[in-house]
Amino acid sequence: MISRILIGASAAMILYLGSVHLEYTFFTHNFSPTEEQLETAMKQVPPRISSEMTMWKAWIGFNVSHSIALILFGLLYGYLVVCQWEVLRKSYFLIGLGLLVLVAYVVLARVFWFKAPLIGVSAATLLYVAGFVCAFARR
- For 84-135, what is each residue's pLDDT tens digit? 999 999 999 999 999 999 999 999 999 998 899 999 999 999 999 999 999 8
| Percent share of the chain, pLDDT over 70 | 99
Say what the pLDDT of residue 31 is: 87
| Percent share of the chain, pLDDT over 90 | 86
Q: Which domain holds residue 39?
A: 2-137
Q: Is the pLDDT of residue 36 over 70?
A: yes
Count of domains for the chain:
1
Say what the pLDDT of residue 74 is: 98
Burial of 116 (0-12, 13-18, 19+ CB in 10 A): exposed
Residues 6+ apart with CB under 8 A from 137: none
Say what the pLDDT of residue 37 is: 93
Tell me the mean pLDDT in the region 51-68.
Answer: 93
Q: How confident is the model at residue 137 (pLDDT cuts 50, 70, 90)?
A: confident
Q: Which amino acid is at 43?
A: K
**pTM for the model:** 0.89
Q: Exposed e or buried b for every residue in 35-49, given b needs 16+ CB within 10 A? A: eeeebeebeeeeeee
